[in-house]
Amino acid sequence: MEGKSPAEAYQQAVLALPVRLRREALSLPREEQGRAEELRLRVGWPLAAVFPEGERPLGGPPVGGEELEQLLEIASRASVHAVLDQVRQGYLTLEGGHRIGLCGTAVCRAGEVQTLRGLSSANLRVARQIPGAAAPVLDGLCPGGRLTDTLILSPPGLGKTTLLRDLIRRVAQGEGCEPLRVGLADERGEVAALHGGRPQLDVGRRTDVVEGCPKAQGLMLLLRAMNPQVLAVDEITAPEDVRALALAAGCGVTLLATAHAGGREDLARRPLYRPLLEEGLFRRMVQIRRVAGKREYTVEELS
């Protein structure tokens, strides 16, 4: 992933597409390839590319159901059994950290999704790392040069994961702060995107990643097995996650996490997040907001 231009990342991502769709995707001018964020495949509709300004069909013949099956075959290298856990959750990670979201008819057993059949649509999200995303907040989060317990807050789509990834990378590399061992519980593979055991997105050389297991279990596993100095997790979503973080904090590990919330008041209002404040698990809070079309970061002291 490192060193790839946006257009090269796009060209790598479209390798997962069946030949006809790949040709269509590559017919975009190079400048547009670099701007495209996603490709949308919906059965019965032409392939469409998503740009920051919106979605635009590429004008070819409609996507067929068999092309979505082929997409899954190519993306999994004919090994659906090996990626079934991801497919059950509706996505698939590719080499380079790109990700395919899948939709179709869910096959359920005992109330749990077993797999998806009859795929109806897919989106291919091009992974692009933004090195330097953490630069504006690093000083505020590293008093005395060492990372302190940090919670990143924002509504969806404002770049929490990107900021978290770059913070992890900097801490693990010792860029602008003391280098520390980071344990990352990456349940959905959105932060490091492991592929063949190797993070496809740069999370630094001192980072150990657990992927595919519930966050709370992943945190405990890292704590027991990898002796981390920092524990990182993307999106606290369940009380178990909060309990696991509290336990880790008791072991003297620095915490780095994200949560969907508009701000401190929002955090205090929601029962799930309230214990984070009450128990004083975090010392700093980064809030991301969009102001006049640009991201703005605010670092606030919590205790």
Closest CB to another protein among residues 80, 249:
80
**Nearer to another protein (CB atom), residue 18 or residue 204:** 18
Q: Give whichever of 114 and 303 is closer to another protein, judged by the CB atom.
A: 114
Q: Which is nearer to another protein, 117 or 205 (CB)?
A: 117
| CA pair distance 275, 292, nearest whole angstrom | 33
- For residue 62, the minimal CB distance to another protein (Å) is 19
Tell me which residues in 141-170 interact with another protein (CB under 8 A). Answer: none
Q: How far is the CB of 106 from another protein (least distance, A)?
A: 16
**Minimal distance, residue 74 CB to another protein, in Å:** 5
Residues 227-256 that bind another protein (CB under 8 A): none
Binding residues for another protein, how many (CB under 8 A)? 16
What share of residues in the chain are helix, strand, coil (percent, to 5)?
A: 35, 30, 35
Query: In 10 A of CB 266, how many CB atoms?
Result: 15
Provide the 3-class DSSP secondary structure of residue 296.
strand
Residue 212 CB, nearest approach to another protein (Å): 14
Q: Whole-number minimum distance, CB 95 to another protein, in Å?
A: 12
Which is nearer to another protein, 78 or 238 (by Cβ)? 78
For residues 87 and 72, give the distance between their C-alpha atoms in angstroms, rounded to a whole number.
Answer: 9
From CA 162, how far away is CA 25, in angstroms rounded? 25
- Give the phi and the psi of residue 108 in degrees, each rounded to 5: -110, 145
Q: Whose structure tokens read 């070819």? A: 60
Q: How far is the CB of 66 from another protein (least distance, A)?
A: 10
Calculated CA dihedral for residues 271, 247, 228, 301, nearest 10 degrees: 50
Looking only at residues 9 through 48 of this chain, which bind another protein when binding is defined by CB under 8 A? 17-19, 22
Q: Which is nearer to another protein, 195 or 264 (CB)?
A: 195
Distance in Å, CB of 275 to another protein, minimum: 38
From residue 22, how far is each of 16, 54, 179, 196, 222 by CA, in Å?
8, 20, 42, 24, 39
The dihedral through the CA atoms of 232, 166, 268, 140 has a sign that is: positive
Q: With respect to another protein, which residue has the nearer C-beta, 19 or 268?
A: 19
- Footprint on residues 68-127 left by another protein (CB under 8 A): 70, 73-74, 76-84
Sign of dihedral through CA atoms 76, 192, 282, 294?
negative
- How many other C-beta atoms lie within 10 A of the C-beta of residue 223? 18
Sequence-separated (6 or more) residues with CB below 8 Å from residue 56: 48, 49, 50
Q: How far is the CB of 88 from another protein (least distance, A)?
A: 11
Torsion of CA 159, 162, 168, 170, to 10 degrees: -110
When the beta carbons of 82 and 108 are compared against another protein, the nearer one is 82
Binding site for another protein (CB under 8 A): 17-19, 22, 70, 73-74, 76-84
